[in-house]
Amino acid sequence: MFSKTTFKGFIYACIAVVLTGLLSKPSPAHDVQISATEVKKMPLVNVTESVYVIHGMVSLPTNENKAFINNPGFVVTPSGVVVIDPGSSTGVGEILLDHIKSVTTKPVVAVINTHVHGDHWFGNHAIRKAYPLVPIYAHENAIKRIHDGADQEWLSLFKGMAPVAMAGTEIVRPDQTLVGGETLRLGGEAFNILYPVDHAHTDSDIMIEIPGEQTLFLGDVVMNRRAFGNRPHESSFAGIEEAVRIVLERPNIKHYIPGHGNTGGREMVENFLSLVSTMRSAVTKYYEAGEADFEMRDKVLSELSAYQHWYGFDQLGRTLSFIYLEVENENF
């Protein structure tokens, strides 16, 4: 039987699942609206001699921002271009291709998708239209979930929020399976595929290290000045913390490219780790004092005041419910 505290936590978590499933929108103060022209002019950032990224909006998809809400990147190798997370729509993928053409005449020789969430891989459609035979890599769990219906779920979600921006976007699934631990030789460059834990942001998160460029693409395991994603029911926050600690132990990395937010150095990753560990520690402390999630909410958020200007801070109350259930499960 549930204890009173456990039952209350369960009820609040169920409510949070419903809200999360609707991908409820953060407060308007966090959403910066820009024109389609401005989206097309979003700058290409040259991270290293061969690594490039476009920093998308830290926002939810809208027609105004053209659903450009992730960080598409690419690496120019000796014999071709490797794209990592080509974007959240066909239109975003086409913008990425235009940027690639501004840098090199080399063809795209591979695409890597970091995880199952559609905002990172709907741009596959644009790449595959331009390069029909290009291989598209993803973790085996991402491929399974996409085939099991996550593709349609995400496309319906985005079309509901940004129908004009998503017009013409078709599902192109990754077709090359990764399990983690591989070193892919793509275009003459080494790409180390990291899968540090079984479950972090999702159960399909890979990170891509380019050792020759001292660069690590983090996917959504780490975000810069964004307080987690909008679907906490899919995440393991203990797993996120463990994965980030493992990332920080890897030597010779200077450039960290998150799935959302600007590229940074080690300090950016440490700041995100601090958010995760502080929140989990606070929830654990109040859980051990016998408090339910709704009883500890204000005190936990007070301990996180250093992050109050991060995007999504106003949604941490519902994230807390899932961390609470994690802590509760750890204590059984």
- Burial label for 286, CB within 10 Å (0-12, 13-18, 19+), is buried
Which domain does 324 fall in, by range? 4-330
Token pair belonging to 95: 């913008």
CATH code: domain of residue 170: 3.60.15.10
**Token representation of residue 279:** 């929140």
Among left, alpha and beta (phi > 0; psi -120 to 50; other), residue 66 is: left
Q: How many domains does the chain have?
A: 1
Per-residue pLDDT of the chain (332 residues; tens, 9 = 90+): 434 344 444 444 443 443 334 344 443 334 444 445 566 678 999 999 999 999 999 999 999 999 999 999 999 999 999 999 999 999 999 999 999 999 999 999 999 999 999 999 999 999 999 999 999 999 999 999 999 999 999 999 999 999 999 999 999 999 999 999 999 999 999 999 999 999 999 999 999 999 999 999 999 999 999 998 788 999 999 999 999 999 999 999 999 999 999 999 999 999 999 999 999 999 999 999 999 999 999 999 999 999 999 999 999 998 999 999 999 999 87
Name residue 270's amino acid.
E
Q: Which two tokens stand for residue 196?
A: 């540090």
3 state DSSP class of 124? helix
**Tokens representing residue 230 in the block:** 């909008």
Q: Return the number of other C-beta atoms located less than 10 Å from residue 117's C-beta.
A: 28
